[in-house]
Each structure stands twice: as structure tokens, then as C-alpha cells.
Structure 1
Amino acid sequence: METNRLSPTLAQALNKQMTNEAANAQIYLAYASWASEKGYDGIANFLFRHANEERNHMMKILEYILKRGAKVVVTEIPSPGPDPASVNDCFEKVFTSEVENTSAIYRIVEMSMAEKDWATWNFMQWFVKEQTEEETLALDLLSKIKVAGGASANDDALYILDKDLAQTADDATLAQDVSAANP
């Protein structure tokens, strides 16, 4: 009896996204290691936590593929690329990576809608919200770095930023969650 409830195109797209999430975990892991080596323990801790979060995203997709009766295909993860040149460069790269990931998720949402696979469409809504949080968080970090001096931030500003990121929550406040009474 056939138990697969994913089309070949959606199964392939979800497997590809699973690999994207694993690659993003590697990016965060590489950048966290770089930050730690540079003495930015707060930034490193923040990035290590996000590496774990990306691995959790990967597992969430893997489990979904299995529960829909499709085959999980584990493939090679691309290299995270060169180390960042600076803290500013690090978070610019993080933001770029998150925007690319959002685009990939939107493609799966579009595919699931076109195929009328409402289970997958519903499943992907969690990722849509998560990517909104990830992009907002990355933008907030870029704003902090900009205030600290951007690419020209001095050691004192980076020290304060590092201490601040050690305390920064892993979630961002989203626009849809605020109001005039609760900005």
C-alpha cells in the first residue's frame, strides 16, 4: 500500500529545505566559532544558540517528511564559506542568509498552495512566522551594530555590543504583535 502523501516535487523541495536548514546551522556554527576565537563570547553564545535553532528546524522538516510517508534524502551540506571580516560583516552575512532562507520557504508555500497540499501549506506557516522573526532579529542586530559604528565600530563599542548580545533574547518582537498600547 502506498502511504506517501507528498508529491515528488514537494518531497524534493522539502528535502532541499532540510539541507538549507542544516547549511544555515553550519553558517551559524562557523560564525560562532569565529566570534569566540576573536574574544566575542556574547556574540559567539548568541550564534551558537542560533546554530542549534537551525538544526531544530532541519529536524522539524525531516520529521514532517517522514510523517507524510515520503523519503528523506540526506545530502552534502555546502561549506559556510570564509570567515567574516568583522562583526558588521558577520551580521550582514547572517541577514543575507536569512533572507535567502525566507525565499526558499516562500517557494515551498507557493508550491503547496498550487498543489492544494493544505497539510504542507499549514506546516510551512510555522516557518513563515519563524523567518519573519529571524529577519527582524537580524535587522535589529544590524541596527545595533550601525549605532556602534558599523564596519568602523571601535573596540569599546564592540565590547558593549558583545555584552549586550550575551543577554539578547533569541526571539524578536514582530510588527503584527505590537499595538499603540504595546509598541
Structure 2
Amino acid sequence: MLSQSMTDALNKQINWEMYSSNLYLQMSSWCAFKGLDGCAEFLNEHANEERMHMQKLLAYVNETGGLAILGQIDAPPTQFESVKDVFEKTFHHEQLVTAKINELVHQASTEKDYATLQFLQWYVAEQHQEEFLFKSILDKIEMIGTQGQGIFFIDREVGQMLTQKTQESTAMTTAQNGDVGTA
């Protein structure tokens, strides 16, 4: 069973994950408004992932005898200076989420809550991947530049990253489930 302090901390993270989802959904909307369909789709999918992160936390709190509580979530910003600004804000946001996950890990370790510590390891690995992903997008923006057709190529690259990620996810699921197509 979770301590009250661990339950409270996990509930804060549940709400933080919902804010993250709303933030990325708003960024997706901004990109769609600007005609950046690849970036819009990518960020929309990322918003869905953040909701999944929230649901996973919520289920864990409920499974371990705690009461998951959804609190008020602040509205995300609606305006951004550029596509580079969007991804800089996303990268910094993911760094903040990583810090929050690390705080949860520290708390679980301090409380000797080894089940929660084990559960949180997935989030630790996920945050490493998230930061790497958004840093790589920023690196691509820096390489391509935002002048002239640069925005077009950035949008295409980010859209292809979503396609590649989907293909990798499908391949991993197929590998985990065994290849049912062979005899």
C-alpha cells in the first residue's frame, strides 16, 4: 500500500502528465494552424502518449490502494514564435518532467517503497528517450535552418520521425508477440 505522501506525489505527477498532454495538443493545433502538418501530427501523437503516461500512473495508484485525484490543470500557452520555439519549449518541458520523475524516484527510494521504485523505472527510461528525441529535433532544426524552404524540410523530417516511430513500434510489438505468419 502506498503512503499518503507517495500517493500525493504520484497524484501531482498524474496532473503534470495531463498538463503535458494538453501542452502538446495545443502545440499541435498551433502547428496545424501554421500549415505544419507533419509537426502537428507528431505533437498530436505525443499528446496521446502523455495521456497514456497519466493513465498508467492513475492505474498504479488505484492498484496500490491509493485514490487517484485529478486536479485542476492550467491552460497551456496558445502562441509560439516559431516551430523552433515550439520544440525548444518541448525539450525544456521534457527536462522538467525528467526532474519531477527523478524526485518521485528519490522519494520512493527514501520511503523504501520498492514496488513504486520499480514501477517508476519505466518512466526514467521513457524520459531519457523523450529528451533524446526532442534534442534530435532541435539538432535537425539547427542543421536545416528556418529560412526559405527550411520550414518545409523541418516539417517533413518531423513527420517522417512519426512514421518511423510507428513502424518501429509495430515491429517491436510483432517481435514480442512472435511472428504468427511463419510456419
TM surpasses 0.5: yes
CA–CA distance in 2 between the matches of 1:88 and 1:167?
A: 17
- CA offset at residue 147 of structure 1? 0.8
Number of residues of Structure 1 aligned to a counterpart in Structure 2: 165
- TM score, norm. by length of structure 2: 0.87
Q: Verify the 8 A CA contact 1:50 1:170 in the aligned structure 2.
A: no
- Which runs of 4 or more aligned residues in structure 1 lie more than 4 Å from their structure 2 counterparts after TM superposition? none
- TM score, norm. by length of structure 1: 0.87
- CA offset at residue 118 of structure 1? 0.3
1:47-58 counterparts in 2 under 5 A?
Answer: 47-58=43-54
Root-mean-square deviation over aligned CA pairs? 1.3
1:91 aligns with 2:87: yes
Equivalent position of 1:166 in the other structure: 159
CA–CA distance in 2 between the matches of 1:8 and 1:50?
A: 31
Q: What do residues 87-126 of structure 1 show as CA deviations (whole Å, max 9, x unaligned)? A: 0100000001100000000000000000100000000000
Instruction: Tell me which protein shows more helix as a share of its residues.
Output: 2
Structure 1 vs Structure 2: percent identity of aligned residues? Answer: 39
CA–CA distance in 1 between the matches of 2:148 and 2:67?
A: 50
Q: Which runs of 5+ in 2 are unaligned?
A: 167-183
CA–CA distance in 2 between the matches of 1:6 and 1:92?
A: 36
Select the residue among 117, 121, 133 that pairs with 2:117.
Answer: 121
1:40 aligns with 2:33: no
1:22 aligns with 2:15: no
Q: Which runs of 5+ in 1 are unaligned?
A: 172-183
